[in-house]
Structure 1
């Protein structure tokens, strides 16, 4: 009988923090939470990453590999330039305003273009990820 009472008390003590925690998470969102609606034709980072960037001569000059965000806004697009199959490539950070990203409705795909050359991007200062 003492074992049953001890087990019941232990279970009650173990269950009480869980119930108390549940009570804290139930309710409405905090007043400072803001929500947005997103249209289907908006650009998503998952579509931007890996996108080849072409120049005015329709030559591939790089690939968008990452996005740098600063103060809640896109600060730079990180492009992989040069190299072949991952060998000899390096990264450059370019201003998002220098890359034109648009949806090609005819082919139903995103395209990126930039007024530059492969050589200019290869000669640009190399971006290195901070440690």
Structure 2
């Protein structure tokens, strides 16, 4: 399966490419007053207004000094942006390479993959940003 490898706060994460419509460079984000802390704001993507979620705030990490990319997430007909630090590459991961995490503390982690002398957490956030 294809996954997008990205970095946040010197940690590596993987997210399924099936849930991502496209990757864009960060654009001007308009603040939304009284929005939850993890809502970064709104963007205009080719005439469509999208909500942008700050992933680091959503999962309780320190916010990066600079966020370079937005993953345009899709679920059915709905789309939202996911603000991340930086996409590294798109890679193929085999099912057998995924080691499941036994913790129930965080419902957005769905496993761990070891490769290239590093570890990447697989995250699934659609249920958090689209509900």
- State the TM-score, normalized to the length of structure 1: 0.28
- The answer to which structure has the higher helix fraction is 1
Choose between structure 1 and 2 for higher RCO, CA contacts under 8 A separated by at least 6 residues. 2
Q: Which has the larger radius of gyration?
A: 1
- State the TM-score, normalized to the length of structure 2: 0.28
